[in-house]
Amino acid sequence: MEKHHIESILKDLDIQSVNYGATTGTTWGRIHTLGKELVSYSPVTGQPIAGVVQAQAHDYEAVVSKAGAAFEKYRMMPAPRRGEIVREIGNALREKKQRLGALISLETGKIRAEGEGEVQEMIDIADFAVGLSRQLYGLTMHSERPFHRMYEQWHPLGIVGIITAFNFPAAVWSWNALVAAVCGDVVVFKPSSKTPLTAIAIQNIIAPVVDKYDIDGVFNLVIGNRAVVGDTLLQDRRIPLVSATGSTAMGKKVATTVAARLGRSLLELGGNNAIIVTEDCDMNMALRATLFGAVGTAGQRCTSTRRIIIHNSIKDRFVQQLVNAYGQIRIGDPMDPYTLMGPLIDDTAKQVMMQAIEAARDQGATIVYGGTALTVEGLENGSYVTPAIVEAENHYPIVQEETFAPILYIIGYDTFDQALALHNDVPQGLSSAVFTSSMKYQEQFLSHRGSDCGIANVNIGTSGAEIGGAFGGEKETGGGRESGSDAWRIYMRRQTNTINWGDDLPLAQGIVFDIKGEEK
C-alpha cells in the first residue's frame, strides 16, 4: 500500500497525525486535552496510521453535560425536522463513501468492497430513519369508562451511550445514532480503541450538518480507555440507555453495571452461527454462502458462519469442493480489488486463532485446510492467516465458543431433527440458515421448534443482513434488536394517557370510593 495513498485518504477525511478524542459534533466544538495518546495501527501493514489524544475524566464530563443541555432543546424539535437533519447526514456520507470506506479498510483490514459496503449501510439507515421520523406511531384504545379516551405515545429517552466493536466501526454507530436522532435523543459515542480514526472521520463528515442546524451536543464522541470513559459511561445515571456491541463477556459486564442503576442496555454480543445443509440442497448456492459467511471480514463478523451442519450423504463432496474454493481465495492487501480476505485485526487475534486450532486438534478435531499464519509479501507486519476448515463434533468445548477468526467447523448429521438439535446446542443465538429444497425442512427450521436464533434464513447465508429487519439474537447474544422494523422503540419511552372529558369521575374496575359513603 502506497504511503501517499494513505496520506490522501487521511487528508480528505481531515485526519491529522494527532487527533483529539472528544468532540460535541460541531466543527468548532472539539475539546483539546492532554490525555495519553492512543495510536491506531493498521492490521494491513502493522504500521501506525495516526494518533488520538484520549479523553480524560473532565473531558467526559464536559461532553455529557453538553449532551444533556442539547437534549433539552433537541427533543422539542419536530420529528420530521430531525429527519431532515439525518437526511443531510446521509447525503454527506454519500459524498465521502469511497474515502470513508477506504479508511475502514485501512483501519480494520476488511476488503475495500466491504468497507464501502459498510458506508452504504450507513446511508441506507439514514434513508430508513428519515421515513421513520414521520412514523413514530402510538396507539389508541377504548376505555372501559364512559367519556374517557385512552392512547399511548412515545417520547425521546435522553442521552444514548453507544459502545461499538472494531469490526463494524461505522455501521453500528449509524444503527444507533441515526435512529436515536430521529427519535429525539442525543448520543455519546465510545468507539473501539482499535478503530478510533473511523469514529473521528464520521464526526468530521457530519460536522457541517451539525453547524448548519445548530445542534452542537447531539452527536458526541469520547475516545478513551475503559477506566476513564467506558466504566464511567456504564455507571452514569444521566445515560438511560447504553447500546453495546462486543463479546459476551463484555456484554455481561455492561448488563450488570447498567442494571445496577436500573438503566436500559441494548446488547449485540457473540454469535456461533450455523448453516444446516440438507441432502436435497442446491450445492452451489450453499458453497457460495458458506464461503462469504466464513471468510468475509476474515471471520470477524458476529454473523460469520462458524459451523456447517451437513447431511452425511453429501458431506465429503461438499468439503472437497469447499477446500477447492478456499484454495482460490486471494489473501492480502484489502485495498487491492482482487483480494477476497484481508488480515485479522491484530497479532493478538492471530494468536487466539492459532490457540483455537491447537485446542480443536487436542479435542479430537481434524484440520482439513488452512489454519496457519501467513506472510504476505510487502506486508510482512500484517496479521494474516489462512482460513481454516475443521471437521469436529458439536460438543467439543472449542466448538461451543465463538472464536473471532476464520475457523469453520464441519459437523455431520443423519436426520433433520438431529441437525436442529446440534444447531441449537450452543450458548449463542444470533444468526442461522438452512439450505434445502424441501418445504418441510424449511418450515420446520422456521417453526417454534426450529432455529432458536434471532435471525433465521432459508437458502441465504448467516452473514449480510439487510437494514429493514430488526437485527439481534437470543441467549448469550444478548437479546437486543437494532436497525430496522420497530427497533426504534428502545430509544424512546412509552407513555399511556387517559383523558376524562366527562363531568364525573368513575374509577376503573368499577371501584366505588366516595368519602361521604354515597353510592354512585
Cα–Cα distance, 225 to 193 (Å, whole number): 7
Cα–Cα distance, 341 to 328 (Å, whole number): 11
Residue 118 a catalytic site member: no
- Whether 426 contacts 393, CB under 8 Å: no
Cα–Cα distance, 489 to 14 (Å, whole number): 35
Candidates 371, 363, 367; CA nearest to 396 is 363
Cα–Cα distance, 371 to 354 (Å, whole number): 7
Q: Name the packing angle between helices 97-108 and 196-213 (round to 10°).
A: 150
Alpha-carbon distances, residue 498 vs 135, 150, 232, 509, 513 (angstroms)? 22, 4, 39, 15, 19
302, 453, 476, 482: which is the annotated catalytic residue? 302
Cα–Cα distance, 68 to 45 (Å, whole number): 41
Which H or E run contains 181? helix 171-183
Candidates 8, 170, 156, 46; CA nearest to 97 is 170
Which H or E run contains 266? strand 264-268
Q: Give the CA dihedral 403, 409, 413, 415, nearest 10 degrees.
A: 50
Question: CB neighbours of 340 closer than 8 A, spacing ≥ 6?
Answer: 111, 295, 329, 330, 331
116, 121, 268, 482: which is the annotated catalytic residue? 268
Alpha-carbon distances, residue 249 vs 104, 186, 244, 246, 373 (angstroms)? 25, 27, 12, 8, 26
Longest dimension (CA), the chain: 93
Per-residue cell: 362: 487436542
Q: Which residue's C-alpha cell is 421448534?
A: 449
Residue 268 a catalytic site member: yes
Give backbone dihedrals phi and psi of 384, rounded to 5 degrees, phi first: -100, 145
Question: CB neighbours of 376 closer than 8 A, spacing ≥ 6?
Answer: 331, 332, 333, 382, 384
Q: Which residue's C-alpha cell is 432459508?
A: 458
Candidates 393, 395, 373, 392; CA nearest to 384 is 373
Per-residue cell: 159: 442521552
Active site residues per annotation: 268, 302
